[in-house]
Amino acid sequence: MVLLLVVDLEPDLDPALAALRPLGGFFALRTVPPAAGAPSGPSSTLEEIYRDRTSSQGSNVQPDQTSEIHADSGDAADPLAFRVAKVARSLRTSEVRVGASVAHQALAARLWSAALGCAVLYGRIPDLDPGLLRWDADGGAPDDLWLSEVRPLPGDAATLAGAVLDGHLRPLTAVVRARYRVASGLLWGNAGSALAGAARELERWARADGRPDAAAGARSLTAELFGHPLLAGTGSLAGTAFRRRSCCLYYRVPGGGVCGDCCFTRPPRPSPHDASG
């Protein structure tokens, strides 16, 4: 017997992606440029961000040269460095790895949220080509990302994986690993955690809004995505509950603890040379 999941979808992708707005700013995706007179907003495409600007010297940088970040660091001409420094300042940490990990997970969460929300509510996703997405390294959701053109794509798991995992998280993970010496297992754990978190929020909204179809759709798509080789080993998924096999390093933030999906049940004793993922 074949069971069919019938989902009450919104009409085909609208130019404003308005169906995402009730889910909150973390899911929303701007599709129009900043209004006249407003701050300039996103100035770099994510395609530009993913280029490793330090590739020529990155292999010669020793760990002790990248272990700390100062309050005034972060060049606006280098958006990734700017965001990492901003995150580190907000967390009151001098460790660049911590700022890089948290910044990486936050951007992964924004990408998963917008893509998964569209897939569940529209049955389609917009083309999230990194050349179409502009990013404001100094902005917060939903004003940090601007999709310059809405091109509909199918909303199945394979298309989501291609758009988010291959289109964004592979190059983002590679550049963060190269520049900030963060373990790849940690970064892919961030990607899994970000997806599960987006799914939980979408499911919570759907149930509160009387949309069991959307809640089931979020669970189904998330389970399929976690079958992808890049995510399959990142943790254990039960519905939208997730326990990762790595740690994002938040416990190293002053006053920080372990996250709800962390592999640790209590903060480990920090080690100056701890680079575990």
pLDDT tens digits, one per residue of 204-245: 999 999 999 999 999 999 999 999 999 999 999 999 999 999
Q: Please report which confidence band the pLDDT of residue 41 belongs to, taking 50, 70 and 90 as the band edges.
A: low
Tell me: the pLDDT tens digits for 171-182?
Answer: 999 999 999 999
**Would you say residue 148 has pLDDT above 60?**
yes
Residue 38 has what pLDDT?
A: 56
**Would you say residue 122 has pLDDT above 80?**
yes
Highest mean pLDDT: which range of 26-35, 98-107, 135-144: 98-107
Q: Please report which confidence band the pLDDT of residue 71 belongs to, taking 50, 70 and 90 as the band edges.
A: very low
| Main-chain dihedrals φ then ψ at residue 208, nearest 5 degrees | -65, -30
Q: Are 228 and 161 in contact (CB under 8 A)?
A: yes
More confident: 5 or 103: 103
Q: Are 76 and 39 in contact (CB under 8 A)?
A: no
This prediction's pTM: 0.86
